[in-house]
Structures are given as structure tokens and as C-alpha cells.
Structure 1
Amino acid sequence: MSTDAEAVVLVGGKGVRLRPLTLSAPKPMLPTAGVPFLSHLLSRLRAIGVRHVVLGTSYKAEVFAEHFGDGSELGLDLEYVVEEEPLDTAGAIRNVADRLSAPDVLVFNGDILSGVDLGALLAAHRADAADVTLHLVRVDDPRRFGCVPTDADGRVTAFLEKTDDPPVDQINAGCYVFRREVIDAIPAGRPVSVERETFPGLLAGGSRVAGFVDSSYWLDMGTPAAFVRGSADLVRGVVPSAALPGEPGEALLLPGAEVAADAVARGGSTVGAGCTVEAGAHVDGSTLFDGARVGADAVVERSVLGAGAVVGPGAVLRDVVVGDGATIGAGCELLDGLRVWPGVELPPGGVRFSAD
């Protein structure tokens, strides 16, 4: 299967909301269900026949090329364009225009986990002869987002700011299909917002801006809680991914991971390479980066342990992030969004810590 469409993935953000995890790696490169998060999207592009993908990078740009290279191992042709100064979404798209040649270009925000049918999205764009097609996802609570209403013909009519009384439940899902000519028309060399400038300008000029509306799985992976949930959903197969290094199930154990016979790993947990989960420990809905260790009878729920992090015996962690190489002393209790920076050592002794 092949298509004459190309793809652009915007991966230049610093991932501030995910610190300390993103101190050592860009957000799209964080281990997510056993592989860098970006791998899941790249596998989906490969599946619909896209071969040429351009990554718009900035923060720790070298990490992407070091891992993925030219993309040949994935069956892709990958290129990298570094954004020297922040250009906003449309500006970042325009910044890679000279690497594109196909008539249609799929564009993605690199921190979204989605179950949208990309083949159907591209087909709808072409059938509508649209200038731009936006993936719009229906959400239960649209008050946290700007809304994007559409008319009876599926054309986008406006881009509305956040409000306590949104008129529709459709939001911009961070995935688009552009005609190449639209990308070329974006002003070059300066920041440009798709939602505040590009899309409203297209509407005002009479261009066809279409909405592809569905209720597929959609998650902004920008916070620790969302990151943990997204990884767990990938492991459990809630969001299918050809990049998952194993069969979907309650837990994904990577090579060299050891889970004691009477320990429990469940809820879509990932136990990274070389990790150890000792006797009586419970790991539930959590992500353990390579080399992490969970001591006997410890409890780790909905949390992330960075590479080489250590959780002492009997410790309890719920909804927390532990940075690379940090140590949580025996009997400690960490709760409610607490973040432990890399290398920090919390002493044993039953101390209770909370982000509140």
C-alpha cells in the first residue's frame, strides 16, 4: 500500500509540563509502552502508505536523528528540520515547506495520542476537495478547549475560544491535512498560529476548511497523569499500535525485566529493560523506565519511575513522577502529583510527601 501524501510531525516543544522526565529527552522520545512515543505515530503513517515524514524539531533535536536515523528500519524516509526560534504551529509547518513535494500533507502535533483512522481522514480530505481538513474530536467536557463548529456540509465555520457554555463538543485534535499550496502561502520566517491566523484567514478568504469529526480515542499526552494513562492504554490495546513490542495485556515486560513470582504488575504497566520488581510489590497502571527497581512490598500506582530510579521496600507511590536515578526511601509515601527530581534521595522512615 502506498499513497502520494507526505507527513509533517511537529516535535519541537520542551515538554515543560512533563518535567523532570523531559530534562533528559524530548517529550515525543519518552519511553511509552516500551518505545519512544513518536514510534507509535510513525507506525500508523507507515500502515497507510506514507513514506516521507519530516520532523520539525527544536529542543534536543539531535535525539531524534540519533534514534531513528534515516527511517529506513521503519520503512520510512525521515528528514529533520531544526527550528532555531519558536515559530508557533503554522510557522513551524512553513519552516519545513522546502522538504515537501506531495500534493497533500498530513500534519501532526507530536504530543497527541489518537485512534483516528488516518486513511479515512485523508480520503475525506480528497473527496471534499478541501484546502485544509481538520480532525475534530468530540469530547465529554469541551469547556477546557476551544470549539470548532461545522455546518451541515462539514465545513468549519469558526474557531471559538474557551467558554463555560460551548456551543458544540467538537475540538481541534491537533491533526490536519493541508494542500501543499496552503502551506506555501503561510508567511515565512516569523511565528504564525494556525488557530489564530492561518485558519481564520482561510475562512475569511472563502477557502474550503473541512472538519473530519469523530469520537475516536484522543489524549493530549502533555501531563504526567495523561502520559501514564496513554502508555497504559497502549499496553492494554485500548489504542492499537503496531509499534508495541509485545502482545497487548495487563503488563508489558521488556527484555531483562524481572517481576517476582508473588509481585503484581497490571493495569497496562510497562516494566522496562533491566527493571526489578521485588517480592510482594504491586505495580499498577505505571511506567518504569529502564533499570528502575521497586522494593519488596512497595506499591506504585499511576506513576512514572525514571531510568535507574529506586523505590525502597514498603514505600507507597500514587500519582507521582520520580526522575532518573532518584531514590525513594523505605516506607515513604508519595502522593497526589508529587515530582521528585533526578538524583534526589528521600530518606527512609515512613515520611509522607504530597504535592498539596
Structure 2
Amino acid sequence: MAPQETDAVILVGGKGTRLRPLTMSAPKPMLPTAGLPFLAHLLSRIRAAGMQHVVLGTSFEAQVFSDYFGDGSSVGLEIEYVHEVQPLGTGGGIRNVASALRHDTVMVFNGDVLGGTDLRKVLDTHRANRADVTLHLVQVSDARAFGCVPTDDDGRVTAFLEKTPDPPTNQINAGCYVFNREIIEAIPAGRAVSVEREIFPALLNDGARVFGHVDSAYWRDMGTPEDFVRGSADLVRGIAPSAALPGTPGESLVLPGARVDPTAMLVGGTVVGRDAVVGAGARLDGAVLFDGAVVDAGAVVERSIVGFGARIGARALVRDGVIGDDAVIGVRCELLRGARVWPKVEIPEGGIRFSTDV
């Protein structure tokens, strides 16, 4: 089973509500991440693994994907788009793209996961076990926040367990699966279906050959602002792999057209977007500045996302925050502990916000 004989399916239909207000203007997989739409990093891994045909299962803001990637030739792939008119869940979303598949083996990806596993090895595991379905399972230090997936000595999946305070294994579902095509075609069509809660347990009950490919490769769900910032920083610093990443790894990535004062400090995997401006004495630590953002002199931005065209006033402090597009944070403001500012909102000089939406 060569990789080029495998379809890649990416589920990108979610609304990204946990990343609001950023996803009010763009779908989560298209948010700038280390200088590129997040999806570009996943596509680069798919191409590097030898797969050629990609199907995007879209829903929310579907046109944004095709406007950017077109037929895929710009990234060395063949990309098709299948629109989901109503929410169908993970299983229903997979079933919805069945008509666009070309091969008997299908690798499915959640469109909001940043990973580093060797995709060829996952396919090799599927082939070696003559599996119906193979799940990529990643080992984490603390599995209590995740559903866990135990396997037997042969690597065969034995159960799918919800979050528990005492998980029997540190193996969790990493959001990457290999399906035999007939399994996808057997999923009920036209209705919402959960692959995790319905399809996989049903396959186990029916005695299907469901196996896990277990490793401890880099893995991060990019669904929250905290994880988005960390994932972007890991890409910039070379901790997370991406063949699409521009430049060489380092403490910061400054994109073309940006202007950074020589006295500013950029550390922690900071990204400064195109045409963004960073003033004298400003300090950015693990910050993500989207295109056109401005950080004025003496301001401090730590582990935060600053949206398109937003402005951080002089000597302001933003820590663990999300600043929406075109918002203005006034001089000497302090936004701390997860504060989120909606697009075009202005926070007056000296204002302080803690863990709130404004």
C-alpha cells in the first residue's frame, strides 16, 4: 500500500468557537500560524508522506479554503472540496466525502491538530495488521483530560473510554485515522454521526480489526488560545515539524513588510505578521501578531494573540489574552488571565481586565 494510493481527508468544518473572537473572521484551520494558514502545515506533512489526493470536508466559511488553496497545485497536491450543508459530526463528515474518494485506503485528519508523527509508519501499521481501521494514538503524561484508548499486546484496540480520573492507559486518540474505504461507505449517510462514540465502539462490538499505531510524537490540539499560542511558538522554534515553515527555527519569526524597532525584544517563538509594527522597547514573549497589528513603545505582550489590524498602546500589558481584529488597547492598559477583546472594541487608557470578554 503506497502512500500515493491513499486518499487524505481533512475535516475542516468546525466553527472554532473556543478561539473566538479570532474565528469570527476566518475558519480556525486558516488562522495564521507561524506565518501560514494552519492548514498549510498539515498539507505539507501529507505531501511529504507521499500522498497526493486530498479531500477537504468543509462547512463554515467554505469558500475561504478554495480561494486560498485552489486545486492544490500551488502546494504540490490535488485538492477537492466537499461541502457539509448541515453539521454531521466527525463520522457524518467522513461519510459525506465518500463520493470524492479514489482509493481503497483513506487517511483522515482532524483539521485542528498539530502533529509530528511519521504518517508513512501509520500506514505501514495499518497494512501489517490487515486492519479495517487504524488509529494514531499518542502517549501523554496525563491522560485524565482526554478520552483514552487501550490496546492489547498485539496493538489491537480493546475499548474507547471517556475522560476518567484514573485512566488505565496514557494512550489517547490523536485525531488521525486510517480507514478501509468500505468502512466509510458503511457509515450512515445524511445524519450526524460521532466516529468516536458510535462508529468505533460499534466496530469493536462487531469484531472488526481495529488497531492502534502508538507513539510519543509531537501532538497538540490547537482548539484553545493557549494551545494555539504554544503550537505556533513550537513551529517557530522548530519543536513542532513543518516542511512549509518559512525560514529557519529561532526565537522569533518576522514576516516580510513588518517593522520592528531595534530596541524591541522578541522571544519565545513570537510571530510578527506582515506589515505589523513593533515599537521601541516593546517586549513580545510567545506572542502571535497577525498582519497589520501594532504594538506601541514599551508595551509587553506575553503568550497572547493580537488580531488583524489591532493595536496595543504604549506601556500596555497583555498576558494570556486574545485581542480581536481592529481592537484598540489603550495606553497603560492591563489585560490579564485570559481576557478576550472583541473586534473593533476600544479599551480606554489605564483600563484593567481579568478573564473576561469585552
TM range (shorter): over 0.9
Letter in 2 for 1:354: F
Partner-residue secondary structure (3-state), 1:201: helix
The residue number in structure 1 matching 2:226 is 225
User: Which residue of structure 2 aligns with residue 277 of structure 1?
Assistant: 278
Q: Could you tell me which residue of structure 1 aligns to residue 42 of structure 2? A: 41
Percent identity between the two aligned chains: 65
Moved more, 149-158 or 242-251: 242-251
Matches within 5 A, 1:322-337: 322-337=323-338
Cα RMSD (Å): 1.0
The Cα offsets for residues 211-239 of structure 1, whole Å up to 9 and x where unpaired, read as 01111111111100110000000010001
Deviations 1:166-202 (A, max 9, x none): 1111111110000111111111111111111111111
Question: Where does residue 202 of structure 1 map in the other structure?
Answer: 203
Q: Who is 1:139 aligned against?
A: 140
Query: What is the aligned partner in structure 1 of residue 74 from structure 2?
Result: 73
Q: Deviations over 1:227-274 (max 9, x none)?
A: 000000001000111111221111111001111111011110110000
Take 1:92 and 1:332, find their aligned partners in 2: how far apart are those partners?
A: 44
Contact 2:317 2:332 (8 Å CA) reproduced: yes
The aligned amino acid for 2:246 is P
Q: Following TM superposition, by how much is the alpha carbon of 1:297 offset from its aligned partner in structure 2, in angstroms?
A: 0.6
Q: Distance in 2 between matches of 1:207 and 1:190?
A: 23
CA distance in 2, matches of 1:319, 1:274: 23
Mapped to 2, the partners of 1:302 and 1:192 lie a distance apart of 36
Q: Which residue type is aligned with residue 267 of structure 1? A: G
Q: In the alignment, what sits opposite 2:299?
A: 298
The aligned counterpart of 2:111 is 110
- Residue 176 of structure 2 corresponds to 175
Partner of 2:237: 236
Amino acid of the residue matched to residue 204 of structure 1?
Answer: N
Q: Aligned pair in 2 of structure 1 residues 57, 155: CA closer, same or farther (>3 Å)?
A: same
Please state whether the residue corresponding to 1:142 is helix, strand or coil.
coil
Per the alignment, residue 51 of structure 2 pairs with 50
Is 2:311 aligned against 1:310? yes
Using the alignment, how far apart are the partners of 1:100 and 1:223 within structure 2? 31
User: Secondary structure at the residue paired with 2:82?
Assistant: strand
Q: Does the residue aligned with 1:154 lie in a helix, a strand or coil?
A: coil
Contact 2:3 2:120 in 1 (8 A): no
Instruction: Tell me the equivalent position of 2:249.
Output: 248
Name whichever of 302-311 and 238-247 sits farther off.
Answer: 238-247
Consecutive unaligned residues in structure 1, runs of 5 or more: none
Q: What runs of 5+ residues in structure 2 fail to find an aligned partner?
A: none
Aligned with 1:211: secondary structure? strand
Q: CA deviation at 1:351?
A: 2.2
State the TM-score, normalizing by the size of structure 1.
0.98
Secondary structure of the 1:173 match is strand
User: How far apart are the structure 2 equivalents of 1:161 and 1:279?
Assistant: 50
Q: Offset of 1:206 from its aligned partner?
A: 1.1
Change (3 A) 1:212 1:270: same
2:34 and 2:326 map into 1 onto residues whose CA distance is: 20
The whole-number CA distance in structure 1 between the counterparts of 2:151 and 2:348 is 56
Aligned partner of residue 3 in structure 1, secondary structure: helix
CA distance in 2, matches of 1:337, 1:344: 16
**Number of matched pairs:** 355
Q: Larger deviation: 239-248 or 286-295?
A: 239-248
Q: How big is the shift at 1:2?
A: 5.7
Matched to 1:307, the amino acid is: F
